[in-house]
Amino acid sequence: MSKNREITYTCPYCGKPFTISIYDSVNTREDPDLREACLSGDIFRHSCPHCHTDFMVQNPLVYMDPDHKFVLWLNANDAGRDLSSFAAPLARQGYTMRRCASLKEFCEKIQIFEDGVSDIAVELAKYDSFIEFIDNRRGNPEDVTSVEYQSCNDGVMKINVRTDDKGLSFLIPLDPLEEEIRVQSDRYAVKNEEFPLVNSDWIISLFLESEGTA
């Protein structure tokens, strides 16, 4: 069941307090409309009744999709809420569980898992696309503003590498990535029930570790 509660919040612009409703958890099977609110960011968007300024309150949120069997924990840091008792039975049911450090990661993970793709393979594809973008002299590392998963169709992922003034798309076959992950299972292993971060920092750390520079 989705859970929300009311809290007293002080407007960061005019300094006046007022009441807002925040969600601690979302269940997409029971409240499918909240999926769109999460993807658009509207679930975190509020308006001050005093100065009428709109702003975001990105509170920690547990997002559960029973149909695609994944749970996301949007939390900038792993301090605070202990989800171990919640995670253990879900892990036994085959759920994938991840922590997301930002709203951008959170929205991308929703799309990845709804597409039925491994986010480990996605991060590997994003890393490979970034390296190819740099190695082929299509841009400098400092020019890259984002590397994003777009879609996966017929076993081929589309990854976008963006800079301030341009972007480039890469088509990455999924099968070789999955084979690499299978062969090097120890390297790419994550502790699912601990809500691990699987993002760009994570994949970079694996390659730095293998090079002895971590």
Mean pLDDT of the chain: 92
Task: For tokens 């009311």, name the residue.
Answer: 6
User: Which contiguous run of DSSP H or E holds residue 210?
Assistant: helix 200-210
Quick one: tokens of 128?
Answer: 């490979």
Paired residues of 47 in beta bridges: 54
Confidence of residue 210 (pLDDT cuts 50, 70, 90): low
Q: Which amino acid is at 57?
A: V
Specify burial of residue 59 (Cβ count, 10 A radius: 0-12, 13-18, 19+).
Answer: middle
pLDDT value at residue 54: 96
SS3 144: strand
What are the backbone angles phi and psi of residue 37, rounded to the nearest 5°? -65, -35
Give percent of the chain above pLDDT 70.
96
Confidence of residue 140 (pLDDT cuts 50, 70, 90): confident
Q: Which amino acid is at 81?
A: R
Task: Provide the whole-model pTM.
Answer: 0.91
pLDDT digits (tens, 9 = 90+) for 143-168: 899 999 999 999 999 999 999 878 89
pLDDT digits (tens, 9 = 90+) for 54-92: 999 989 999 999 999 999 999 988 765 677 888 989 999
Average pLDDT over residues 84-106: 93
pLDDT value at residue 123: 97
Domain boundaries, the chain: 3-114, 119-190+198-210
pLDDT at 212 over 70: no
What are the backbone angles phi and psi of residue 42, rounded to the nearest 5°? -65, -25
pLDDT value at residue 83: 79
Paired residues of 167 in beta bridges: 162
CA 51 – CA 31 distance, rounded (Å): 31
- In b/e form, how buried is each residue of 167-202, taking b as 16+ CB within 10 angstroms? ebebebebeebbeebeeeeeebebebbebebbbeee
pLDDT value at residue 66: 97
